[in-house]
Amino acid sequence: MISISMLSLILGIALLVTGIFAMLTRKNLIKIVIGFSIADTGTHIIIVSLGYLKGRTAPIIDSAVSAANAVQKVVDPIPSALVLTAIVIGLAVTAVMLSFVVEMYKKNKSLSIDDYQELKW
């Protein structure tokens, strides 16, 4: 029986690899940004699944978890905290990348990566 954290770990790695594959093979700049976004989501799922502990609940003290036995009842709070901020930063970085795409389209009227040869060697 495969555990849920193992399953989400494999799913996260699959998403990360899919995103990088998309970034390497797609020609359309917007699709490259989408590939980055998929890879970003993959890393978030990997980090969260590494912090999961079987049969435990979210690290919030309420009716399900009393203050006395919290250490035995909750999952690791650190990966959740890291991923929480990483999601917002990922959103902002995607916005910057899309602004670059808009500027590049304004300059060369093309979304294909093949039309941008300046950095090619």
**Interacting residues with another protein (CB under 8 A):** 3, 5-6, 9-10, 13, 16-17, 20-21, 24-25, 46, 52-54, 58-62, 67, 70-71, 74, 76-78, 80-81, 84-85, 87-89, 91-93, 95-96, 98-100, 102-103
Taking the least distance from each CB to another protein, the nearer of 14 and 115 is 14
Shortest approach of another protein to residue 42 CB, angstroms? 10
3-state DSSP of 83-106: HHHHHHHHHHHHHHHHHHHHHHHH
Nearest approach, Cβ of 110 to another protein (angstroms)?
Answer: 17
Tell me the C-alpha distance between 108 and 115, whole Å: 8
Task: Name which of 103 and 115 has its Cβ closer to another protein.
Answer: 103
For residue 120, which amino acid is it?
K
**Contact status, residue 111 vs residue 101, Cβ threshold 8 Å:** yes
Nearest-angstrom CA–CA distance, 85 and 40: 12
